[in-house]
Chains A and B, each alone.
Chain A
Amino acid sequence: MTTLKTDVYARQICMPEIGEAGQAILARSSVLVIGAGGLGSPVLFNLAGAGVGRIAIIDRDVVAASNLNRQFLYTMADIGKCKAAVAAERLKAYHPDLQVEWFAEVLTMDRARALIPAFDLVVCAVDNLKTRRLVNQVCFELHKRLIDGGILGFSGYAVALEPGKTPCLDCLFGLSDTPRTPKVANSIGATASVIGSIEATLVILLLLGLPNPLAGEILEYHGRTLTFDRIRVEQSAHCPICQSE
């Protein structure tokens, strides 16, 4: 590792959980981040900052003014630009050695099955249940670890799913094909930052081979009272996703 790189990561290399060996593991790791919005912003900044070597970003949207209260990857000057492209450029400026790929597209089942095998871990930072269902299904098919989070207003959740070890998202949330009423999701940047940072922490822990602190649990955050709760979740006996392996 060069001196400059050592300097960049000095404050974490001196952590007993990381050290030179852990930093090398992060540098060799690859993460697919689905969604570059409110959650994706802190996830991406934190993973790039930690020295994850390869990151891919999928987001089909362009930057809108209404994103800027919470999506801190972007500025006013980015309005109308492709989120995935701007995010990749910003991360690259932040960490020039980062290998970053971006895809401005809707994630389909076929695309997910083609992309996900090339990564150590997947982060779901999306704004809808339909994509979560799709990503959950493919990650469990491919035995790929999945970190998911969601926010609304002052509240949010995070989960860390490991096929064969934990329940899947379908067991947790009972995801279904039933169309949902379209609605404008409200949230503040601080909530997105809390949950996104927790997702990034979970990624780093799992990449380093440290124990999953949320195995079989949902972490619920209630910002109005600044409280965290954990809810143990059991695998559903007839789950179509994780019981059909």
Chain B
Amino acid sequence: MTVKFFSQFIDATGCREFELIAPESIEKLIEILITQFGEPMRQVLLSPAGDTIHEDAFLLVNGRHLRALNGFATQLVESDIVSVLQITEAG
């Protein structure tokens, strides 16, 4: 499967795409991303408590917002594309 990074996640990871064997869920994927990219990724991806996505970040699985799927329990398959984005709300 493919993970695509945008905005500050490009800065945090130094890359735009990351290929990996699909883990079973978004929760497992997040664990893998934090292991791969370390503390900077944890800080921008997860809330301080670590139990939700950071309020300034959002994930799309094949273009569908995680909220419209099954949250951390969303199942993943090999053909999935997960986009990791920052909320850029200033104007």
Give the contacts of B4-60 with A (CB-CB under 8 A).
Answer: 4, 6-8, 10-11, 16, 55, 58, 60
For the complex, give the distance between the alpha carbons of A192 and B88 in Å: 11
CA gap between A172 and B87 in the complex, in Å: 11
A151 at the A/B interface (Cβ < 8 Å)? yes
Q: Cα distance A225–B4 when bound, in Å? A: 15
Give 26 CB contacts A-B under 8 Å.
Answer: A40-B91, A127-B91, A129-B89, A149-B91, A151-B91, A152-B7, A152-B87, A152-B88, A155-B6, A171-B68, A172-B65, A173-B87, A174-B58, A186-B90, A220-B6, A220-B7, A224-B11, A227-B16, A229-B4, A229-B16, A231-B4, A233-B60, A234-B62, A234-B64, A236-B68, A239-B68
Per the bound structure, the CA–CA distance linking A222 and B65 in Å amounts to 21
Chain B contacts to A: CB under 8 angstroms: 4, 6-8, 10-11, 16, 55, 58, 60, 62-68, 83, 85-91
Residue of B nearest to A220 (CB): B6
A124 to B67, CA, bound (A): 23
Task: Tell me how many residue pairs across A and B have CB atoms closer than 8 Å.
Answer: 93
Of the candidates A125, A181, A225, A232, the one whose C-beta lies within 8 Å of that of B55 is A181
- Nearest-neighbour CB distance to chain A for B10, whole angstroms, equals 6
Q: How far is the CB of B59 from chain A (nearest CB, A)?
A: 9
CB distance from B47 to the nearest CB of A (A): 10
CB-based contact A155/B7 at 8 Å? yes
Contact of B90 among A127, A218, A232, A239 (CB under 8 A): A127
Instruction: Determine if A157 and B88 form an interchain contact, defined as CB atoms under 8 angstroms apart.
Output: yes
A180 at the interface (CB under 8 A from B): yes
The 4 A-B residue pairs with the shortest CB-CB distance, nearest first, are: A185-B90, A236-B68, A155-B7, A152-B88
CA distance A225 to B15 in the complex (A): 11
